[in-house]
Amino acid sequence: RTVGAAQQRLAVLDDLRQRQKSIHSHQTAVSQQIQRLKALEKACGRDGVQALLIEQALPEIEDRANELLERLTGGDMRVSFDTQRQLKSRDATVETLDIHITDGAGERPYENFSGGEQFRVNFAIRLALSQILAKRAGARLQTLVIDEGFGSQDPNGRQRLVEAINAIQDDFARILVITHIDELRDAFPARIEVAKTITGSTIAVS
Q: Taking residues 146-166, report their average pLDDT.
A: 75
Whole-number pLDDT of residue 77 = 92
Start-to-end Cα distance in the chain: 109
Q: Which pTM value belongs to this model?
A: 0.62
Q: Residue 88 — pLDDT band, cuts 50, 70, 90?
A: low
101-119 confidence digits (pLDDT tens): 999 889 988 888 887 788 8
pLDDT at 198 over 90: no
Secondary structure of 118-169 as H, E, C letters? HHHHHHHHHHHHHHHHHHHCCCCCCEEEEECCHHHCCHHHHHHHHHHHHHCH
Cβ atoms within 10 Å of 93's Cβ, excluding its own:
11
Comparing 96 with 28, the larger pLDDT belongs to 28
